[in-house]
Amino acid sequence: MKVSKGSYESEISKAITQWEKDYLGRGSVSVKTDILRDMVIVNLQGILTRAEYNVCETKEGMLTIKKTRSELVESGIEDLKNIILTITGEEVKSFHSDISSRTGERVMVFKLFNDFEKNI
């Protein structure tokens, strides 16, 4: 039986949420994953704590939070790549991520070696 694109997206969202809880100690409020050509785009809402929002009120504080959060995610990159490989069967070529200190949203982009959407 062929697995639908939506099923892959849902499974990736669940796995990344679980990774956040296990690795970072807390999960985001909501996660939405989209598969587009050779990319897996993950949008995570509500990742900052109330204290982090307060720290982000200054430019220095915002840069500190962004740097710290980025380093935390980067330190777990192999786990994240394995999640994508396990679910899709595709290897990750590159990983890109950014966080908005204003909205508390993180975007992760996994660039794959192949056009996974075409193969679904």
CATH number for position 76: 3.30.980
Whether 114 and 88 have beta carbons less than 8 Å apart is answered as: no
Confidence of residue 87 (pLDDT cuts 50, 70, 90): very high
Q: Containing domain of residue 29, as a range?
A: 5-114
Determine the pLDDT at residue 34.
98
Confidence of residue 36 (pLDDT cuts 50, 70, 90): very high
Whether 41 and 34 have beta carbons less than 8 Å apart is answered as: yes
Domain count, the chain: 1
Domain contains 120: no
Residue in 75, 113, 74 with CA at minimum distance from that of residue 93: 113
